[in-house]
Chains A and B, each alone.
Chain A
Amino acid sequence: MEQLLAIRARGVTKSFGDVVALDGIDLDVTQGQIHGLVGPNGAGKTTLLGLLLGLAVADSGRLEVLGTPVGRALDSPDGVAGFVDGPALYPSLTPRQNLAALAALRGHEARTAGIDDVLAEVGLTGVADDRARGFSLGMRQRLGLAAALLTKPRLLVLDEPSNGLDPAGKKHVHGVLNRLAADGTAVVLSSHNMDDLEALCSEVTIVATGRVVFSGPLSKLAADNRELDYRLLTSDPQAARRMAGDTPGVRVVDDAGVRQADAKLLVVRAMVPALEDLVVRLVEEGVALRELTPVVSPLEAAFLALTEQQEAGR
């Protein structure tokens, strides 16, 4: 079954003077998908987000947003909302006034624009009439999200939306984004926080030096990836160490630098199949497995490996 595409980019390039920000970017994002954009600083993420919001126009290639070709600056179709380089708001206005001014800009009455609803959605009802001047970064992020939600977007473009959010706030925002995606809105978010991306995104695109080095489901990224380091906490560390050493494709890492003081903890390096063999052997030998977690997430490991490869190949 064909999926509806919210974004379709083919061979998109963008340069600023001599600096090539995007170098032949291909990207597909379907409706209802939360798509992560990840890459080192200067990789071109913000430029790409800017193109999606219509803030700039590609030098070459083809970009379609919500099925509409975008050929000129500020030409993105209705239904696209979001922010790049952090949320923007006017500190001399309250959140309610900020949103009312935006609603009025679009020709909506403040009463009927759903301002209270979006403020409640992002958890800002309690401070709706306080001046935004004193807001923390997290509150500003929520207000930026509320401003985007006010337009009832079909494509939401967010740049580091979890910056400054406390765990509760992060959970709240994740809930909002998941609900939007469930309702069919495509969400593209860039972040350096791998945990966020893993928690939210069904697909990710890794960008380095203006090029896509990976684009696809997170599961594919993990499968494609090479060996990862895993933390093993067992009932018998010595037996576990011995069995890990005997299991083909598994290596004990003694210099992993993770909780070295904990004698019960073992760090092994393996691909998923070899790791599964080790787990089976541990269980067969009656060694209880209390914890098995990757030292770094598959996404982070892949990100580091792929971007390092890209940097080395320049």
Chain B
Amino acid sequence: MTATLTQSPEQEHQPVTRGRRVPVTRACRFEFVKLVSQWRIRLLVLACWIVPALFVAGVSRQSTLPSDTLFGRWMHATGWAGPLVVLGFAGTWALPLLTSVVAGDVFASEDRLGTWRHLFVAVRSPRRIFAAKALASLTVILVLVAGLACSSAIGGLLTVGNHPLVGVDGHLLTPEDAAVKVLLAWVCVLAPTLALAGIGLLGSVMLGRSPMGLLLPALVAIIMQVTQILPLPVAVRLALPGYAFISWNGLFTSPTQLAPLLIAVAVSLAWAVLATVLAYVLFQRRDFTNLAYDGSGRRALTVGLLPLVGLPALSVAAVAVSTSSMGSGIEQGKVQRSVATAFAHLYRMQTDQLHRPAVAEAQLRTTATCAKSAGKGAQEGAGNNWRCVVSWHLPGVAVTGTAIYQIDITSDGRFVADGDGPKEVNGYFLMRTSTGDAPNPLWQFDGNVELLDTSSKG
């Protein structure tokens, strides 16, 4: 029944072509323009590039430092502590919220504005629209993360200076090493950030204009954080994408605690890929001509959420099989090694600051004897009831030095050692140096128990 159209000379000069699909680069630029035109995105960009610098500069000038935050106690000592303090905060709050606002809204905003048909007529390819939206939101997230990292580093370096950084196990990193590791740490948290961004895309596609889509990354991040606080087996802890927000501190030990970090990054990337693929599948299946579609159908929930629920189970099994780590990972031997290592590094630093004869960590032959709950019960697991007696030997001195520490270990392996005497070693917050009073590095220090048994012992 197809009629042949009569072609006029004018029409012959204007050949009708099949609708050309818009290249992804152009569609991505279009999405980027739309994102950047939103005041909240501009505000976030501005805040991420300015606020961390002001925060680090402000805190570094205060007499009281945020010593409960990793590297917080070293903010007076080096400008490289600032970006790590901000990183710790960002992993907990800022990055989940940023991904919520950007990725969690990138599809939903079209539902809200009623612009889907306009977009489809213009771009003509759901696949390219999805790719453009994902890439544009990823670009904005990268700009925000880069802002947090650069701004905090600049703030720290301008306020405090480019000085050596004390690592998590007390060893000293040169400013160059510190710069590289700070950069690496920020790069590593991109993996869980991408996982949250993928979840944001999924929520945005799945739930449409519902605010739950916007909140999904933040909600998942909170669940991950709460889970990390619980006394779970190591395999479960590592199999959750949020662990990469914690495990970057393994970069600041010697040797580097690489295995947990790599596992966490791999798990995070798996979440990012799966969530993005699920979002893509749902997006492709959506009927944009059906006005009754609200995105929250049973199929959307089944296709979107069930595989994500299944991924942790798979990850736990894989990590458990590959690492054989089903306990808490915090064992007496590991605690003793970690405390002794950190003490030795910091003792050497204290010796330098007090201009005593130089001594190397190996010469000290430091050991720690630790017990939990005064030796009652299982000698493993997190808690603030660990107590360690640290012993060391000074070259040419017959008497063995000892110091006592109360150790508070959290379930992610991080600990704070609080000096409990003798007062000459770790009893006072301040120590008298030739240039005046200075914080005593042995009075209270941070450390990290590697939860996996895979790295060589330092």
Contact = CB atoms under 8 A, between A and B. Distances in A.
B93 interface: no
Contacts of B7: 4, 67
A68 B22 contact: no
Interface size class of A (residues with CB under 8 A): 35 or more
A78 B33 contact: no
A55 B5 contact: no
Interface string B112-151: 0111111111111110000000000000000000000000
B44 to A, nearest CB: 14
A195 interface: no
Contacts of A89: 113, 115, 118
A102 B113 contact: no
A90 B37 CA distance: 9
A154 B289 contact: no
B118 A106 contact: no
A53 interface: yes
Contact of B2 (A46, A62, A85, A86): A62
Contacts of A287: none
B37 A77 contact: no
Contacts of B117: 50, 53, 55, 83-85, 88
Contacts of A31: 11
Contacts of B290: 16
Nearest to B11: A4
A314 to B, nearest CB: 22
A293 interface: no
Interface in A137-176: 147, 154
Interface in A82-130: 82-93, 97, 101-102, 104-107
B14 interface: yes
A67 B26 contact: no
Contacts of B1: 10-11, 62
A47 interface: yes
B18 A75 contact: yes
Contact of B289 (A47, A88, A90): A47
Contacts of A97: 33, 37
Contact of A55 (B26, B39, B120, B292): B120
A50 B289 contact: yes
Given A97-B37, A105-B26, A55 B2 contact: no
Given A54-B19, A56-B289, A88-B114, A105 B14 contact: no
Given A10-B1, A85-B291, A90 B18 contact: no
A55 B121 contact: yes
A234 interface: no
B24 to A, nearest CB: 11
A163 B289 CA distance: 21
Nearest to A56: B289
Interface in B1-31: 1-3, 5-8, 10-11, 14, 16-22, 26-27, 29-30
B457 interface: no
Given A4-B7, A55-B121, 18 more contacts: A4-B8, A4-B11, A8-B2, A31-B11, A47-B289, A55-B117, A74-B125, A79-B16, A88-B116, A88-B117, A89-B113, A89-B115, A92-B39, A93-B37, A102-B30, A104-B26, A106-B22, A184-B10
8 contacts: A5-B5, A55-B121, A67-B5, A76-B19, A85-B114, A90-B34, A90-B113, A105-B27
Interface of A: 2-5, 8, 10-11, 16, 31, 46-47, 50, 53-56, 62, 64, 66-69, 74-93, 97, 101-102, 104-107, 147, 154, 184
